[in-house]
């Protein structure tokens, strides 16, 4: 079903806030964060592109912007800078990101023109931001296993979902290994989330679906949505069994946009699987 009728050029970064019981997401190129609350649709316009968030407490989010990470107060609607993020590379922007079980926040960057290999993946943790991986073209699928021992991510340019072991503080302790090679299947991996049972749910750009893969890489099922470019899933709802999914109009010409009137909207599928509670960022 359609959760929100607003059409995003590049919908991304859905976050279910466990304290507010509220979904937040982004239209990256529109520099906008969207949500719904008891009063209806909400949105906030920022001076730069924003793409992903983590929750800090009931009223504050950590948000990734073009020039840095910042704290955003949902009550006063004011921003407080936290740390720079490629502020010296104006041709880049943030993309996929997610909080990890140790209280950190992973965020990927990429070229605004999709120039290959110009992005990176970073981790913010307790006041420190560290670059983890260079040469990234389009970072996505950042997510974490329920035991907190493994991170997963992809570079869309290669179509492979990678996984890497984490130490007790949440830093990578080995080289990433290939978990899924979706390029071999003709699929384009985008945003992802891992459910409470360890199953990966990943949006496959251009395939109108979110597919689930077991920890051994076996495909289990796929949930279809009425939009060609599904971009990122999130579990939410009172019992965390609703699968939300953002989508995008990006890359679709006027004819395609007319043929797919729900493209760019945000969807919800009920009773799909049990998600993890999104982790709190320690800011």
Q: What is the mean pLDDT of residues 62-70?
A: 98
For residue 32, list its beta bridge partners.
27, 45
Query: CA 108 to CA 90: how far, in whole Å?
Result: 15
In this model, does residue 226 exceed pLDDT 90? yes
In angstroms, what CA-CA distances link 112 with 23, 44, 172? 26, 21, 27
> Across the chain, how many H-helices and E-strands are there?
1, 24
| 127-134 LR contacts (CB < 8 Å, sep 24+) | 127/83, 129/69, 129/83, 129/84, 129/85, 130/171, 132/106, 132/172, 133/176
Query: CA 82 to CA 260: how far, in whole Å?
Result: 39
Average pLDDT, the chain: 97
What is the per-residue pLDDT across 1-40, written as a single tens digit (0 to 9) for each?
999 999 999 999 999 999 999 999 999 999 999 999 988 9
DSSP-assigned letter for residue 255: H
What is the per-residue pLDDT across 112-168, written as a single tens digit (0 to 9) for each?
999 999 999 999 999 999 999 999 999 999 999 999 999 999 999 999 999 999 999
- Tokens found for residue 60: 């504050």
CB atoms within 10 A of CB 217: 12
The per-residue pLDDT for 108 is: 98
In angstroms, what CA-CA distances link 70 with 60, 65, 91, 127? 10, 8, 19, 12
100, 188, 190, 226: the catalytic one is: 190
If residue 257 lies in a helix (H) or strand (E), which one and from where to where?
helix 254-259
Q: What is the mean pLDDT of residues 230-241?
A: 98
Residues above pLDDT 90, as percent of the chain: 98
Query: CA 90 to CA 272: how far, in whole Å?
Result: 40
CB atoms within 10 A of CB 84: 11
Q: What is the mean pLDDT of residues 198-214?
A: 98
Comparing C-alpha atoms, which of 222, 214, 152, 215 is closest to residue 187?
Answer: 222
Comparing C-alpha atoms, which of 281, 220, 266 is closest to residue 41?
Answer: 266
What is the per-residue pLDDT across 169-202, written as a single tens digit (0 to 9) for each?
999 999 999 999 999 889 999 999 999 999 999 9
Comparing C-alpha atoms, which of 227, 226, 223, 225 is closest to residue 250?
Answer: 227
3-state secondary structure of 30: helix
In this model, does residue 249 exceed pLDDT 90? yes
253 is catalytic: no
Which domains, ranges and CATH numbers included, belong to the chain?
2-269 (2.120.10.30)
The per-residue pLDDT for 215 is: 97
The per-residue pLDDT for 38 is: 86
Q: What is the mean pLDDT of residues 253-265?
A: 97
């Amino acid at each position: 079903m359609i959760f929100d009728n607003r059409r995003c050029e590049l919908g991304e970064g859905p976050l279910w806030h466990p304290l507010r019981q509220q979904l937040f997401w982004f239209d990256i190129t529109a520099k906008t964060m969207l949500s719904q609350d008891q009063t209806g649709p909400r949105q906030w316009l920022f001076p730069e592109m924003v793409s992903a968030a983590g929750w800090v407490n009931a009223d504050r989010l950590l948000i990734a912007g073009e020039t840095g990470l910042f704290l955003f107060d949902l009550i006063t609607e004011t921003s407080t800078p936290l740390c720079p993020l490629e502020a010296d590379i104006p041709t880049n922007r943030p993309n996929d990101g997610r909080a990890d079980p140790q209280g950190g926040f992973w965020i990927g960057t990429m070229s605004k023109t999709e120039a290959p290999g110009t992005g990176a993946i970073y981790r913010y943790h307790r006041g420190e931001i560290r670059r983890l991986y260079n040469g990234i073209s389009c970072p996505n699928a950042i997510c974490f296993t329920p035991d907190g021992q493994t991170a997963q991510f992809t570079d869309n340019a290669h179509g492979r979902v990678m996984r890497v072991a984490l130490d007790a503080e949440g830093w990578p302790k080995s080289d990433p290994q290939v978990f899924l090679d979706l390029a071999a299947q003709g699929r384009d991996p985008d945003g992802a989330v891992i459910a409470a049972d360890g199953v990966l749910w990943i949006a496959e750009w251009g395939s109108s679906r979110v597919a689930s893969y077991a920890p051994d890489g076996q495909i289990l099922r796929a949930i279809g949505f009425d939009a060609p470019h599904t971009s990122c899933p999130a579990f939410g709802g009172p019992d965390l069994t609703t699968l939300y999914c953002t989508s995008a109009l990006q890359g679709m010409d006027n004819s395609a946009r007319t043929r797919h009137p729900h493209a760019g909207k945000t969807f919800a599928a009920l009773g799909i699987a049990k998600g993890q509670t999104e982790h709190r960022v320690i800011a």
